[in-house]
Chains A and B, each alone.
Chain A
Amino acid sequence: MTALLKHPGYNEERLQRVAEQLPCREVQVGMLLSLMGQPQQYSYPSVFIYGHRASGKSHVMHVLMKELELPHATVSCVECVSVVLLFEQVLLSFFGCDAASLLPRSPSLSDFVRIYRQQCSQSPAKQTRYIVMEKAELLRDTDASLLPALLRLQELVEDNVTVILLSEIIWDKFRPNTGCFEPLLLHFPDYSKGELQQILSQNRHSSYSAEFYSTYINILLGVFYSVCRDLRELRHLAALNFSKFCEPLAEGKVKETDTHKLWKHIEPHLKKAMQTVYLREVSSLQWEQMQQMEEKEAGALRGLSAHTHVELPYYSKFLLIAAYLASYNPARTDKRFFLKHHGKIRKTNFLKKNEKTSNHLLGPKPFPLDRLLAIFYSVVDSRVAPTASIFSQISSLVTLQLLAQVSHDDQLDAPKYKCAVSLEFICAISRTVNFDIVKYLYDFL
């Protein structure tokens, strides 16, 4: 901490505030500050910071920039649908609206550099300017020249500017084939359990003592640490369940210090939270309402994945069944299943060497439309005219994502599909039409 406080060129009081806001990230902040040097000094052209979700990358940068009042532009790459937005935002934050409006309609990188230099000559940097790019992994999908250019932007625009890339992915996955300027790498490790405890305990409820809240966090981490280390999520869960934790206290049954009783009270509740609200099966709003309700009523609320039943028109059901059979049975065996006088052919006759594994383990295979229809006509019990609506049902099954079109949209000739539903789902569907699908599946012969 002392090392942090002694950075030359920055106000000590401000550094103090920074340190307060960034617990458990002292090492990283110290490193960053020494990389940045004094405000007026040139800094390293590009820094690459990586670490898992919610390991404090953006937060650290945000606090540093804000508290030390450094000129900066923060850009989230996910938001930059096109590079224009990226350029615009950088120019806007450094030079104001007028500069941003100078960009032509569809600017290239060189337009950006030109305008930057032009503006920069009018208002040269007195201290290092920073461009913080969040979710930098998305830069890989954009124009190939963008990332290398950003990495040495300092050279290109001849200004005291540093680009800081924040990413959840390591640098090795970024490096372009053609090579590029290597940024400085900085890793933000995950918070340890102790650190999480320390950080979470900081935002305690004002009407309870710090110790009490710390106990609560300890219990919470005991349940959730094994599944979730995401600080943001943990904080969310802490907020959702705290009122339940305080319940026995409010009723006067226990004292604040009676940790064991408190634990007994909250533990099953937290376990339940792990299965429901943590997985977003139940929304946090509903979870809060549930806490106020009686135990019995709360049981009635079902999660998202509990509703799997799908109503389909009669022929759609059979089309889906036919698609499933086509996807999971080898085409050679169709004769065996759908011809009336197929004779006695045992499974071993069909077995090829590589087909010993179950088709269900291999996943659905693509099939052409005519095979689907041939199977459909043999499984559906009545005679069906090949009407237009049968075909439109196939395409609506595709839009419902129950079937997937494998061939390209443009291919009108013999489109290929895959069945995208699970065995459980198709069994439920075939039960409603009294069709014993298991009898027709090669895997279960």
Chain B
Amino acid sequence: MGSRHAALTDTPSAKKKKKTPSLESYFVHCCEDAESSGTRFGLCRDMWDKIKADTEVLQDELNRKILDSLLDFTRKSSSTHHHSDWTSQMRASEIPTAALMLGVNVPDHDMTFQSLSDLLQQSVTPHVASVQAKECGALKHLMKKVLERLMNTVVVVDEEDEEENMQTSTQLHRSVHCSLRILCDWYIKCATGTPGKKRSCPVRDEQQQPPVVIIFKDLEAFNPRVLQDFILICSRYIDRLPLTFIFGIATSPSTIQHMLPYSVSSLLCIELFQSLSCTQHLATVIDKLILTPCIPFKLNGKVMQVLISIFLYHDFSVRNFIKGLQLALLEHFHSQPLSVLCCKKKQALLNVMQLSQPNLERIRQLPSFKRYVEKLEAQEQVNLMTSDTHLKEVCQKLIKDLRKYHKNYYPVLRCLHTLTSSLPRYPLGKQIRELHLICLEKNVWENEDYQSAMKLVKMLAKDELVALLQRCVEILQSSKSKNMKNALVQLEELLAKFKQLDSAAEMAPTVEASITSPIKNLQKKTDLFQLQKTLLEMNESRRAKRLSPFENLRNEALEFIDGLVKSHLSPPESQTLYEVCYYSSSATVRRHLNATPRTSIQAALSSPYYYLQNDRLKTDDGTVSSAAPDICIAYKLHLECGRLINLYDWLEAFTTVVSAGEGNDPDSENFGKVDEVKHARFIRAVSELEFLGFIKSTKQKTDHVARLTWGGC
């Protein structure tokens, strides 16, 4: 009601928006709370822009090393090309080739190739062409694409005009058939800059010639025959045309040897370049985008789990992961009116003051807020429920608390990860994302794995422990929050104590004296019962024995860490107003990113009501109304059959149901009779089912069809 009212008052601006259908109008359309939708759209866009910019920077940083080495490679290969010493005259002129190992996450490759060709064009050579397997079915097409991309990008129109008289023949036929000879002539013309006699004499100057780079984006998908011929042709021109190949390989470099016979691969001078693995890539992305208080938008444990499992189980694609993040972001701002508060601190505090009446009511309805209120005194509870201004003030405080929570959460998470990531069997996970998921789920310190991890930490040698604590100090140093600064001071004190121990280490006397006596006893007695008793005693005494100063200190350090964890790593659900920042609808994300076509078809067939929105089709669960579309009836009937379905029985059942649907009198003579129309309808329904893949004809029995699907999923 409130939202409709708001929409009415907002008509002028809404009308304006409608005139120019933009992204915003799509966003605002059928949005939860229309009033704040504009603001939310702005926030959402800003945040996405920031995420996008961040990922691009990240991508560039991650790829820098491999791209730099590739650039070096192309530069080097072009410079070594025109040596005139004995060796280079003698050796076969091979085509320099970079085998770029990219991993199987094919969707991510585009971005890498894009930045590679951009960088090449900027700094090495203007002549870069990238080709994809799907556009090069035959040698002709490959040739054409390469020539088009190389020559069109550089050749200026008026320059061509000058050449027209001389090159009419080639110009005329260029679109019909293109050979590398034309490319070669064109290249020489480009390189010299002066139109004239080509076939430049081999004893030309040593001047740097820009190489011609051809990038094969997906080597595996190329037809080997086409590739072989292309390489053979290119090798004929290598002394005139400084070609360089870059092969994008998704699997392993032995693919080259599988695809190219020796006679062809001996024409190439292949160098291997290994790019970063996609899991490392994802780890960095998560580190920079998710595990940071800078971006207020957060994913809850389940959504995070969905995105990560899509990555690990299905595609290994970082690009798709970020797309998933984008989807969650959009959905959050679209569906949650309170997401106006999900932004930078200043803006959020401002937005709190401008919250509308319905939104304040929404806050009061939030489960986390209710929990918060219940803990307060009665008077305060009443105040919050009745006074809007008071609520706003409290909200401001709560928003600040939430921010503080995030500021403390991430550094402590990192510290805990540093301590536990190198333990044997990785009780809390090898990657920080695993630990993060555990922490999002529930109180991490109640987890069994946490306890065993802590026990393992206790077993660490002193220097290992000190090194880990030192790294924790470094992590805490980068944090600006007040709590973290306090923690830093304490941790540094502890470390200092550890160092003091070092100097005092030699002085510590051994406690062995106490143990020796039972061992002596043990040697005397051979009775089994006595033995057990003494062993137990020994155990007791060892446990009770005075701890060494190191052990004391270690326990102190661990208690400190435990304290930090307990106070800062509680799951976000325990925080008041967490709904503002956390997106939690994992089902939506899963539905959008990991579609299940068969499930939806089956759902449509078994409950057509939801799709057709026709009340007549509404039935109790399990049954299908006889007024449903034919295919639904046929589908429902076929579910009751075994592996083979008798077509005639099926037809009979079908006509009975359909007749009942038509309202015929069950006692009349024609009821359930197969007439031509029903027969035709049945045949159509069956063939539709066959088209959808539920049945197929079988040779075992001529009047039967075989059922193909089983089970609910």
CA distance A135 to B140 in the complex (A): 18
Could you say which residues of chain A place their CB within 8 Å of the CB of B86?
205-206, 239
Known contacts: A242-B87, A304-B257, A388-B597. The answer to whether A79 contacts B179 by CB under 8 A is yes
Contact of A315 with B92 in the complex, beta carbons under 8 Å: no
Contact of B140 with A81 in the complex, beta carbons under 8 Å: yes
Could you say which residues of chain A place their CB within 8 Å of the CB of B143?
81
CA distance A333 to B270 in the complex (A): 45
Q: Which of B102-125 contact A (CB under 8 A)?
A: 103-104, 106
Contact of B270 with A387 in the complex, beta carbons under 8 Å: no
Contact of A79 with B270 in the complex, beta carbons under 8 Å: no
Could you say which residues of chain A place their CB within 8 Å of the CB of B103?
311
Contact of A311 with B91 in the complex, beta carbons under 8 Å: no
User: Of A148-156, A259-267, A394-402, which binds chain B?
Assistant: A394-402
Contact of A81 with B177 in the complex, beta carbons under 8 Å: yes
B233 contacts A by Cβ under 8 Å: yes
* CB nearest neighbor in B for A398: B221
B180 contacts A by Cβ under 8 Å: yes
Cβ distance A58 to chain B, nearest Cβ, rounded Å: 10
Cβ distance A216 to chain B, nearest Cβ, rounded Å: 12
User: Of B310-318, B338-346, B360-368, B646-654, which binds chain A?
Assistant: B310-318
Contact of A235 with B254 in the complex, beta carbons under 8 Å: no
Contact of A313 with B104 in the complex, beta carbons under 8 Å: yes
B252 contacts A by Cβ under 8 Å: yes
Known contacts: A81-B179, A386-B713, A388-B595. The answer to whether A305 contacts B254 by CB under 8 A is yes
Q: Looking at the complex, which one of A103, A238, A283, A314 makes contact with B271 (CB distance below 8 Å)? A: A283
Q: Looking at the complex, which one of A53, A79, A103, A313 makes contact with B315 (CB distance below 8 Å)? A: A313
B390 contacts A by Cβ under 8 Å: no
Q: Which of A89-109 contact B (CB under 8 A)?
A: 89, 92, 97-98, 100-101, 103, 105-106
Q: Which of A374-406 contact B (CB under 8 A)?
A: 383, 385-390, 393, 396, 399-402
Contact of A402 with B91 in the complex, beta carbons under 8 Å: no
Could you say which residues of chain B place their CB within 8 Å of the CB of A236?
90-92
Q: Looking at the complex, which one of B80, B90, B173 makes contact with A203 (CB distance below 8 Å)? A: B90
Cβ distance B225 to chain A, nearest Cβ, rounded Å: 10
B573 contacts A by Cβ under 8 Å: no
A85 contacts B by Cβ under 8 Å: yes
Contact of B597 with A385 in the complex, beta carbons under 8 Å: no
Contact of B177 with A389 in the complex, beta carbons under 8 Å: no
* CB nearest neighbor in A for B87: A239
Q: How many residues of A contact B (CB 8 A)?
A: 63
CA distance A81 to B713 in the complex (A): 51
Contact of A310 with B91 in the complex, beta carbons under 8 Å: no
* CB nearest neighbor in A for B260: A280
Known contacts: A106-B176, A311-B278, A313-B313. The answer to whether A305 contacts B594 by CB under 8 A is no
Could you say which residues of chain B place their CB within 8 Å of the CB of A78?
229, 232-233
User: Of B93-101, B380-388, B519-527, B630-638, which binds chain A?
Assistant: B93-101
Contact of B314 with A389 in the complex, beta carbons under 8 Å: yes
A195 contacts B by Cβ under 8 Å: no
Q: Which of B53-110 contact A (CB under 8 A)?
A: 77, 80, 86-92, 94, 96-97, 99, 101, 103-104, 106
Cβ distance B251 to chain A, nearest Cβ, rounded Å: 5
Known contacts: A97-B169, A305-B257, A307-B254. The answer to whether A105 contacts B313 by CB under 8 A is no
Could you say which residues of chain B place their CB within 8 Å of the CB of A387?
314, 594-596
CA distance A106 to B94 in the complex (A): 34
| Most A CB within 10 A of own CB, among B77, B138, B315 | B315
Known contacts: A81-B140, A310-B104, A386-B598. The answer to whether A400 contacts B169 by CB under 8 A is no
CA distance A135 to B97 in the complex (A): 24
A192 contacts B by Cβ under 8 Å: no
CA distance A315 to B309 in the complex (A): 10
CA distance A232 to B173 in the complex (A): 35
Known contacts: A285-B96, A393-B314. The answer to whether A310 contacts B172 by CB under 8 A is no
Contact of B251 with A310 in the complex, beta carbons under 8 Å: yes
Contact of B176 with A105 in the complex, beta carbons under 8 Å: yes
Contact of B263 with A53 in the complex, beta carbons under 8 Å: yes
Could you say which residues of chain A place their CB within 8 Å of the CB of B89?
203
Could you say which residues of chain A place their CB within 8 Å of the CB of B138?
81
A159 contacts B by Cβ under 8 Å: no
Q: How many residues of B contact A (CB 8 A)?
A: 74
Could you say which residues of chain B place their CB within 8 Å of the CB of A399?
106, 218, 220-221
Known contacts: A235-B90, A310-B252. The answer to whether A389 contacts B310 by CB under 8 A is yes
Contact of B169 with A313 in the complex, beta carbons under 8 Å: no
A82 contacts B by Cβ under 8 Å: yes
Cβ distance B184 to chain A, nearest Cβ, rounded Å: 11
Contact of A308 with B104 in the complex, beta carbons under 8 Å: no
Contact of B253 with A305 in the complex, beta carbons under 8 Å: yes
Q: Which of A192-209 contact B (CB under 8 A)?
A: 203, 205-206
Contact of A283 with B277 in the complex, beta carbons under 8 Å: no
Contact of B176 with A280 in the complex, beta carbons under 8 Å: no
Q: Looking at the complex, which one of A97, A388, A401 makes contact with B255 (CB distance below 8 Å)? A: A401
Contact of A389 with B265 in the complex, beta carbons under 8 Å: no
* CB nearest neighbor in B for A100: B169
Contact of A304 with B91 in the complex, beta carbons under 8 Å: no
Chain B interface, DSSP helix/strand/loop, else mixed: helix
Cβ distance A129 to chain B, nearest Cβ, rounded Å: 20
B266 contacts A by Cβ under 8 Å: yes
CA distance A53 to B263 in the complex (A): 9
Contact of A304 with B92 in the complex, beta carbons under 8 Å: no
Cβ distance B302 to chain A, nearest Cβ, rounded Å: 16
B603 contacts A by Cβ under 8 Å: no
**B interface footprint on A57-91 (CB within 8 Å = 1, 0 otherwise):** 00000000000000000001011011011001100
Known contacts: A100-B169, A401-B255. The answer to whether A82 contacts B595 by CB under 8 A is no
* CB nearest neighbor in B for A106: B176
CA distance A143 to B80 in the complex (A): 42
Cβ distance B544 to chain A, nearest Cβ, rounded Å: 43
Contact of B265 with A280 in the complex, beta carbons under 8 Å: yes
Could you say which residues of chain A place their CB within 8 Å of the CB of B139?
81
CA distance A336 to B572 in the complex (A): 50
B398 contacts A by Cβ under 8 Å: no
Cβ distance A173 to chain B, nearest Cβ, rounded Å: 18
* CB nearest neighbor in A for B250: A400
B236 contacts A by Cβ under 8 Å: yes
Contact of B177 with A82 in the complex, beta carbons under 8 Å: yes
* CB nearest neighbor in A for B167: A97
Could you say which residues of chain A place their CB within 8 Å of the CB of B91?
235-236, 239-240, 284
Q: Looking at the complex, which one of B87, B270, B312 makes contact with A304 (CB distance below 8 Å)? A: B270
Contact of A85 with B236 in the complex, beta carbons under 8 Å: no
Cβ distance B601 to chain A, nearest Cβ, rounded Å: 11
Contact of A385 with B90 in the complex, beta carbons under 8 Å: no
CA distance A304 to B277 in the complex (A): 18
Contact of B272 with A313 in the complex, beta carbons under 8 Å: no
Known contacts: A304-B257, A305-B254. The answer to whether A233 contacts B233 by CB under 8 A is no
A142 contacts B by Cβ under 8 Å: no
Contact of B269 with A283 in the complex, beta carbons under 8 Å: yes
| Most A CB within 10 A of own CB, among B80, B180, B268, B270 | B270
12 pairs, CB–CB < 8 Å, chain A vs chain B? A135-B232, A240-B91, A280-B257, A280-B265, A280-B266, A283-B268, A307-B254, A315-B314, A387-B594, A388-B595, A399-B221, A401-B220
Instruction: Show the binding face of B for A, using Cβ within 8 Å.
Output: 77, 80, 86-92, 94, 96-97, 99, 101, 103-104, 106, 138-140, 143, 168-169, 172-173, 176-177, 179-181, 218, 220-221, 229, 232-233, 236, 250-258, 262-263, 265-266, 268-272, 274, 277-279, 310-316, 594-599, 708, 713
Given contacts A98-B169, A280-B257, A311-B279, list 6 more A-B pairs with CB under 8 A. A236-B91, A280-B270, A304-B270, A307-B252, A313-B312, A386-B598
Instruction: Show the binding face of A for B, using Cβ within 8 Å.
Output: 53, 76, 78-79, 81-82, 84-85, 88-89, 92, 97-98, 100-101, 103, 105-106, 135, 203, 205-206, 232-233, 235-236, 238-240, 242-243, 279-280, 283-286, 304-305, 307-316, 370, 383, 385-390, 393, 396, 399-402
